[in-house]
Structure 1
Amino acid sequence: MIFIKREFEAYLDEMDQITILLPNGSFNGESASFTLSDEKSTYPLEIIDRKTLQSSVKYICKTNMPITIGSKYMIIDEHSRKTDLQIGAVIRSQAFDEAFYYEKDDLGAQYQKGETTFTLWAPTASAVKIKLVAPKSKESIFYSLIREEKGIWRITVQGDLEGFYYTYLVCVNLVWREAVDPYAIASTINSESAVIVDKERINVPKVSMLPFNDATDAIIYELHVRDFSSHPKSGMVHKGKYAAFTEDPVEVSEIGMTGVPYLQSLGVTHIELLPLNDFGGVDEAEPDKDYNWGYNPLLFNVPEGSYALDPNDPYSRILELKNLINTLHHKDLRIIMDVVYNHVYIREDSSFEKIVPGYYFRHDEHGMPSNGTGVGNDIASERKMVRKFILDSIRYWLQEYDVDGFRFDLMGILDVQTINEVKEAVSVIKPGAIILGEGWELNTPLAADRKAMILNAKKMPGIAFFNDMVRDSVKGSTFNLFDRGFALGNTHKIALLKQSLAGSVQIDPNHKGLFLDPAQSINYIESHDNHTMWDKIAVCNSHENEETRIKRHRLAASVTLLSQGIPFLHAGQEFFRTKGGEENSYKSPDSINSLDWERKNRYSENVAYVRGLISLRKAHKAFRLSTVTEVKRHVRFPLDKGNLLMYHLNDVKQYGKYNHLLIIFHNGTNTENVTIPFSGEWEVLAEGSTASDLPIRKVNNEVQVPPISTVVLAQY
Structure 2
Amino acid sequence: MAYDDQKFEAYLDKMDMVTVLVPKSYYNGEVNSLCLMRGDQSLSLTLKDKKVLHEAIKYEYYCPMKVEIGEEYRVVEERGAKADLKIGAVIRTPEFDDAFFYNESDLGVSFTTQHIQVKVWAPTATDVKVKLINPETLNNEYISMTRLTKGVWTAACGLEKEGYYYTFEVTVNGVTREAVDPYAIAASVNSKYGVLVNLKRTKQSPVQKAPLPNPTDAIIYEVHIRDFTIHPSSNVSNKGTYAGFTRASTESGVSTGLAYLKELGITHVELLPVNDFDGVDELNPFDAYNWGYNPLLFNVPEGSYSLNPTNPVARILELKELIQTVHENDLRVILDVVYNHVYIREESSFEKIVPGYFFRHDEFGMPSNGTGVGNDFASERKMARKFIVDSVLFWVKEYDVDGFRFDLMGILDIETMNTIRQKLFEYDSSILLFGEGWDLNTPLSSEEKATIYNSDKVPNIGFFNDRFRDFIKGSTFNIYDKGFICGNTHRIDEVKQVVAGSVSYQKGEKYLFTQPTSSINYVESHDNHTLWDKLSKCNSHEEKRILQKRQKLASAMVLLAQGIPFLHAGQEFYRTKKGVENSYRSPDSINQFDWEQRKIYKEDIKWLQAVIQLRKAHGAFRFHTTERIRKHMKFLEAVPEVVAYSLVNVEEYGPWKDIIVAFNQDTSTRYINLPPGNWHVVIDGENVYQYPFTKVLSGKTAVPAVGVLALFKT
The TM-score normalised by the length of structure 1 is: 0.98
Mapped to 2, the partners of 1:240 and 1:613 lie a distance apart of 30
Deviation of the 1:190 alpha carbon: 0.4
1:684 matched residue in structure 2: 681
SS of 1:616's equivalent in the other structure is helix
Aligned residue identity for 1:454:
I
Indicate the residue corresponding to 1:71 in structure 2.
71
Asked if the contact 1:230–1:594 (Cα under 8 Å) also holds between the matched residues in 2, the reply is yes
> How far, CA to CA, are the matches of 2:50 and 2:405 in structure 1?
49
Query: Partner of 1:207 in structure 2?
Result: 207
Deviations 1:210-233 (A, max 9, x none): 442211110000000000100011
Deviations 1:454-483 (A, max 9, x none): 000000110011001100000101111111
1:652-691 paired onto structure 2 within 5 Å: 652-676=650-674, 678-691=675-688
Go from structure 1 to structure 2 and tell me whether the alpha carbon gap of 1:627 and 1:617 turns closer, same or farther (over 3 Å shift): same
Partners in 1 of 2:246 and 2:94 — Cα distance?
48
Q: 1:612·1:693 contact (CA, 8 Å) conserved in 2?
A: no
1:6-17 aligned at under 5 Å gives the runs: 6-17=6-17
Find the counterpart in structure 1 of residue 550 from structure 2.
Answer: 552
* Cα contact 1:241–1:309 (8 A) shared by 2: yes
Q: Deviations over 1:252-311 (max 9, x none)?
A: 34x821001110000000000000100000000100100000011100000000000000
Q: 1:598 to 1:159 in 2, by over 3 A?
A: closer
> Alignment partner of 2:365: what SS?
coil
Matches within 5 A, 1:138-153: 138-153=138-153
Q: Which residue of 2 is the match for residue 572 of structure 1?
A: 570
Q: Distance in 1 between matches of 2:399 and 2:295?
A: 18
Single out whichever of 49-58 and 152-161 deviates more from structure 2. Answer: 152-161
CA positional deviation for 1:200: 2.5
Deviation at 1:672, TM superposition (A): 1.6
CA positional deviation for 1:693: 5.2
C-alpha distance in 1, partners of 2:555/2:325? 28
Partner of 1:431 in structure 2? 429
Match of 1:608 among 606, 609, 620: 606
Task: State the one-letter code of the partner of 1:569.
Answer: L
The one-letter code sitting in structure 2 at the alignment partner of 1:48 is K
Equivalent position of 1:635 in the other structure: 633
Q: Give the aligned partner of residue 92 of structure 1.
A: 92
Which residue in the other structure is 1:332 paired with?
330
Q: Is the 8 A contact 1:111 1:117 kept in 2?
A: yes
Superposed CA offset, 1:316-373 (max 9, x none): 1000001100111001000001110110000000000000000000000000000000
Output the amino acid matched with 2:686.
Answer: S
Q: How does 1:443-482 map to 2 (within 5 A)?
A: 443-482=441-480
Per-residue CA deviation, residues 5-42 of structure 1 (Å, 9 max, x unaligned), is: 53211111100011111111121111111111111211
Report whether the alignment pairs 1:252 with 2:286: no
- Look up the match of 1:587: 585
Map of 1:161 onto structure 2: 161
Conserved in 2, the CA contact under 8 Å of 1:225 and 1:241? yes
Out of 396, 399, 409, the residue aligned to residue 397 of structure 2 is: 399
- Contact (CA 8 Å) 1:686, 1:696: kept in 2 or not? no
Q: Which residue of 1 aligns with 2:175?
A: 175
1:673 Cα deviation after fit: 3.0
Other structure's SS at 2:243 match? helix
Shift of 1:641: 2.1
Q: Unaligned 5+ residue runs, structure 1? A: none
Deviation string, structure 1 residues 539-587 (Cα, Å, up to 9, x no partner)? 0001111011111111111110000011000000000000000000000
- 1:230 maps to which residue? 230
Assess if the C-alpha contact under 8 Å between 2:207 and 2:327 holds in 1: yes
SS of residue paired to 2:350: helix
2:107 partner letter: L
CA offset at residue 139 of structure 1? 1.4
Structure 2 residue ranges without an equivalent (≥5): none
TM-score normalized with structure 2 length: 0.98
Question: Take 2:305 and 2:289, find their aligned partners in 1: how far apart are those partners?
Answer: 11
Aligned to 1:119: 119
The alpha carbon displacement at 1:159 in A equals 4.3
Task: Name the amino acid aligned to 1:547.
Answer: R
Q: How far is 1:656 from its partner?
A: 1.3
Q: Give the aligned partner of residue 40 of structure 2.
A: 40
Matched, 1:700 2:698: yes
Instruction: Give the structure 2 partner of residue 284 of structure 1.
Output: 282
Equivalent residue number for residue 499 of structure 1: 497
Alignment correspondent of 2:712: 714
* 3-state secondary structure, aligned to 2:498: helix
Residue of structure 2 equivalent to 1:525: 523
Q: CA deviation at 1:713?
A: 1.4
TM-superposed deviation, 1:78: 2.5
Q: Which amino acid aligns with 1:679?
A: P
Distance 1:396 1:143 in 2: 27
Aligned residues: 711
1:305 is aligned to 303
Amino acid at match of 2:82: K
Tell me, in whole angstroms, the C-alpha distance in 2 between the residues paired with 1:666 and 1:397.
Answer: 43
Cα distance, 1:106–1:318 mapped onto 2, change above 3 Å: same
**Following TM superposition, by how much is the alpha carbon of 1:640 offset from its aligned partner in structure 2, in angstroms?**
3.8
Asked if the contact 2:637–2:672 (Cα under 8 Å) also holds between the matched residues in 1, the reply is no
2:681 and 2:689 in contact (8 A); partners too: no
- CA distance in structure 2 between the partners assigned to 1:5 and 1:171 by the alignment: 22
1:76 deviates by 1.6
Q: Deviations over 1:386-423 (max 9, x none)?
A: 11111111111000000000000000000001000100
Q: What does residue 536 of structure 1 align with?
A: 534
Distance 1:40 1:495 in 2: 76
**In terms of mean alpha carbon deviation, does 685-694 or 378-387 score higher?**
685-694
Give per-residue Cα distances to partners, 1:594-616, cap 9 Å, x unaligned: 10011111122221111010000
